[in-house]
Amino acid sequence: MPDTPQYGIIGQPLGHSLSPALHNWALARAGLPGQYHAYPLEPGGLAEFMARARALPLAGLSVTIPHKVAVMEFLDEVSERARATGAVNTVYRRGDRLLGENTDVTGFLAPLRALGTAPRSALVLGAGGAARAVLAGLGELGVPAVLVTARDPARASALAAAFGARTHPWDQRGSARAELVVNTTPLGMRGPGQGLSAWPPSSPLGPGQTAYDLVYNPVQTAFLALACATGARTIGGLDMFLHQGREQFRLWTGQTFDLPAARALVAGLLARG
């Protein structure tokens, strides 16, 4: 190993990622040596990068779009959770072996477990990679009734079938009754579509329901603002980001970091844009 352990995130694009700021802060706060870098990486460069990762060797990697599935073939072992999810977002080293985990599931579940009672029904908005982690997490919670809805009905059907869920038409999503509604789409993310909500305002959520938005920039999305205004419980994507990052840090270093301090750090960065 190099004198200073090296960590990083691979994906494309990475300009929006707050992972370098979070993990470099956590390393410094824990008094641990190491540096965490962003490695912008096109799909065609993955094989060469992973070969270099073994040779350097890198101590740990965060993996994001578009490499979460493809990276699995370059690893020595993948956890049951990552295999069930069909994606790896964390690579960590044990000796000469590179292992894969999916801490997105950990991050998604943490605020739900804190509620103490699992929802009896859930509706997942979207059918992309983030939805896979959500459906795997709902399976671990034992949620008995799960619906998937997306603008692409074929993708929604394929995803639902993979996780034993059912589908619901996207243009009728407001009629679905679920205790938990999870937005896994980018609708509402900072940028041109920031004011958009994946949930129709004409069908407000209310008391007894929970709105969970995986988008964390902005912290208060249009979806969450609408749900809060009509009495629903809300969970923001910052919770998932911080919990999944803390689990990554634990796998890499054996230590964790203080969640309130990390939240203050990231919220401050988001507020500055």
pLDDT on residue 119: 97
Phi and psi, residue 158, nearest 5°: -65, -40
pLDDT score, position 193: 82
Task: Please give the model's pTM, rounded to 2 decimal places.
Answer: 0.93
Structural domains in the chain, sorted by start = 6-101+241-271 (3.40.50.10860), 105-235 (3.40.50.720)
DSSP notation for 175-217 = G---SEEEE-SSTT-SSTTTT--SS-TTS---TT-EEEE---S
Length in residues, the chain: 273
Residue type, 249: F
Catalytic residues: 68
In three-state secondary structure terms, 81 is: helix
* Partners of 125 in beta bridges: 149, 183
CA distance 245 to 243: 5
In the prediction, which pLDDT does 190 show? 87
Q: What pLDDT shows up at residue 15?
A: 85
Q: Give 73's Cβ-side CA count (13 Å radius).
A: 6
Element (H, E) at 35: strand 35-40
Report the pLDDT value the prediction gives residue 2, as an integer from 0 to 100: 52
Q: What is the Rg, in whole angstroms, of the alpha carbon atoms belonging to the chain? A: 19
Q: Which residues contact 136 (CB under 8 A, 6 or more apart)?
A: 81, 84, 85, 102, 105, 163
Instruction: Give me the tens of pLDDT residue by residue for the chain, a chain 273 residues long.
Output: 457 899 999 999 898 899 999 999 999 999 999 999 999 999 999 999 999 999 988 999 999 989 999 999 999 999 999 999 999 999 999 999 999 999 999 999 999 999 999 999 999 999 998 999 999 999 999 999 999 999 999 999 999 999 999 999 999 999 999 999 999 999 999 888 899 999 999 999 999 999 999 999 999 999 999 999 999 999 999 999 999 999 999 999 999 999 999 999 999 999 987
For residue 233, give the H/E element and its range.
strand 233-235
Give the integer Cα–Cα distance in Å for 46 and 69: 11
Question: How far is the CA of 244 from the CAs of 121, 207, 255, 273, in angstroms?
Answer: 24, 28, 14, 22
Tokens describing residue 87: 């994606």
